[in-house]
Amino acid sequence: MNKLRIAIISGSLVSGIVLSLLLNYYDFFTPAITENTYGIKGEVIRSLPEMLCPCPYMISFSAQKGVAIQDFFICKDSACIKQDTNFVLDPPKYSQARTAIKNDNVPWHVGDNVDIRVKFSPLQYDGSVHYSDMNARLLDLGTSVVKRS
């Protein structure tokens, strides 16, 4: 009886962990569009740590049309980092934004090629600016070289 309970509990725990990982990386496994009609660009930059941001790596985004960047994935080979973010690029006022990569164990170095994907929503204008997660898309920005600032 106790062995059966342990098997059920451990099975539930393992499946719970697997389900959690799948949900966390669900967007990564979702097919991404490659047609970049919003002019979104991403660039990974190695920067000197500052008082405001001790993180050694940053990612810079720009867009030609209004979008809200919700998540991004940066991958080198099969090692990926996912980070939730929530900022709006609304040209011409806010056409660029930069955020710290909050993972100290990045699998890349300056000069390495990385693949960048972003989950974004188009901005909607109707007296105010807003966006909906229901309109979110995953965009593959392709390969980028990690640069030094």
69-113: pLDDT as tens digits: 999 999 999 899 999 988 899 988 888 888 889 887 889 999 999
Counting residues of the chain whose pLDDT is more than 90, the rounded percentage is 46
**Which residue range(s) make up the domain with 15?**
1-30
pTM value is 0.76
Does 7 share its domain with 71? no
In the chain, the number of structural domains is: 2
Q: What is the DSSP string of 34-92?
A: ---TT--EEEEEE----SS---SEEEEEE-SS-EEEEEEEEEETTEEEEEEEEEEEBTT
Does 42 share its domain with 85? yes
For residue 103, what is the domain's CATH number?
2.60.40
The token pair at 21 is 């990982």
104-130: pLDDT as tens digits: 788 999 999 999 999 999 999 888 888
Does 37 share its domain with 16? no
Does 22 share its domain with 83? no
